[in-house]
Amino acid sequence: MSAQFPVARPRRLRRTPALRRLVAETRLSPADLVLPMFVKEGITEPQPITSMPGVVQHSRDSLRKAAHDAVEAGVGGLILFGIPAVKDGRGSGADDPAGVVQKALRDLSADLGDGAVIMADLCLDEFTDHGHCGILTPSGDVDNDATLERYASIAVAQAAAGAGVVAPSGMMDGQVRAIRTALDEAGYGEVAILAYSAKYASAFYGPFREAAECAPQFGDRSAYQQDPPNADESLREVFLDLDEGADMVMIKPALPYLDVVRRVRDAVDVPVAAYHVSGEYAMVEAAAANGWLDRERTIMETLTGIRRAGADIVLTYWAAEVAARLA
Ligand code: PBG
């Protein structure tokens, strides 16, 4: 054989679109995508979010329409975030049966039936006047165990309003057990828990804080969210959450933590989700708006990469758009 002819020619399988499609190792489908949505109390028209072009704070009515369209496009699920008209120290709006999220959950479960999984983010930061994810001690620390009681009550309120999945995102120790116990005692044994198990204290949440109007009024979340240098610790958090009754686990943000996504995927036998967060979204939108990136290709490569790293489910503000494109 001549030395000029390579024995192996990987390029053969890259030659045409049909070949590439045939041998693709990772596929993106609408059912894998979950759309985060914001609903704000007391507004009648949707309001744009400056740092997240294309994403809005919905009114009760505009949420129904957008959720319907997303489900029509085939998304696997929706996850709701609420912005109450009034905030206080204990986040009273979060478990009020007439609170903004509970009303929206009732609307969506009536409208959508089983067309997609309806999830609720379960946290306090959107509802507290201080912007932290829990109840504060007099010295301004987040009181872990007092916060667990609030989370338990929120879980029951969300389940009663029709959430099929609750997603605790506050990073309090023991939060999954507290929520599981409360749900079971209240007769909501069928409601599943998607635990934000490995949630990092990330700069990439910046635009979300505008979207949910929940920037901490003092300090930051480093005393409860994970420290970016740590990955082994994520596995510890994941196993604790599974012991406590989590049905699915999540890593957040996505792109800076794809190593964690892969390690968790290899270590557990439950569905793994990754959240491509507001700042990751904003970077692409800003660059694309400047003509610096091909927006559609960047979006597809981003979501495919997160799936390839091991995420079964991707939470993304592009979910409805991409689902429609894939369909
Ligand atoms: C907390 C919560 C946050 C996000 C989801 N749930 C904000 C935070 O922890 O500060 C961020 C999502 C995003 O940036 O897209 N309720």
Contact 32, 307 (CB under 8 A): yes
Question: Model-level pTM?
Answer: 0.97
Whether 199 sits among the annotated catalytic residues: the reply is yes
**Mean pLDDT of the residues in the chain:** 97
87 to 66, 91, 308: CA distances (angstroms): 26, 6, 40
> Residue 165: pLDDT above 80?
yes
Q: How far is the CA of 43 from the centre of ligand 1 (A)?
A: 22
Q: Which fold has domain 27-326?
A: TIM Barrel (3.20.20)
Question: Degrees (nearest 5) of the Cα angle 28, 32, 38?
Answer: 120
Percent of the chain with pLDDT over 70: 99
Nearest Cα to Cα of residue 35 among 67, 62, 82, 63 = 67
Strands (E), 147-187: 165-168
Q: How confident is the model at residue 3 (pLDDT cuts 50, 70, 90)?
A: confident
So what's the pLDDT on residue 72? 98
What φ, ψ does residue 129 adopt, rounded to 5°? -70, -20
CA–CA dist 42, 181 (Å, integer):
33
Interval 294-316: pLDDT, tens: 999 999 999 999 999 999 999 99
For 59: left if phi > 0, alpha if psi spans -120 to 50, otherwise beta; the answer is beta
Interval 245-287: pLDDT, tens: 999 999 999 999 999 999 999 999 999 999 999 999 999 999 9
Ligand 1: atom nearest CA of 276 is 15
> Residue 145: pLDDT above 60?
yes
So what's the pLDDT on residue 201? 97
So what's the pLDDT on residue 1? 56
Q: How far is the CA of 293 from the centre of ligand 1 (A)?
A: 26
Which is the catalytic residue, given 40, 87, 103, 199? Answer: 199
Interval 16-36: pLDDT, tens: 999 999 999 999 999 999 999
Interval 103-123: pLDDT, tens: 999 999 999 999 999 999 999
Kindly list the domain boundaries of the chain, sorted by start residue. 27-326
296 to 47, 146, 194, 301, 321: CA distances (angstroms): 24, 45, 29, 9, 10
Interval 212-231: pLDDT, tens: 998 888 889 999 999 999 99
Instruction: Check residue 255 and report its DSSP letter.
Output: G
132, 205, 217, 255, best to mutate for ligand 1 pocket (most atoms within 8 Å of CB) = 205
> Residue 172: pLDDT above 60?
yes
What φ, ψ does residue 303 adopt, rounded to 5°? -70, -35
Give the list of residues 6+ apart from residue 3 with CB closer than 8 angstroms, or none: none
Whether 252 sits among the annotated catalytic residues: the reply is yes
Q: How far is the CA of 208 from the centre of ligand 1 (A)?
A: 6
Secondary structure class of 36 (helix, strand, coil): strand
- Cβ 121 under 6 angstroms from ligand 1: yes
Give the list of residues 6+ apart from residue 46 with CB closer than 8 angstroms, or none: 56, 57, 58, 59, 62
ipTM, two decimals: 0.96
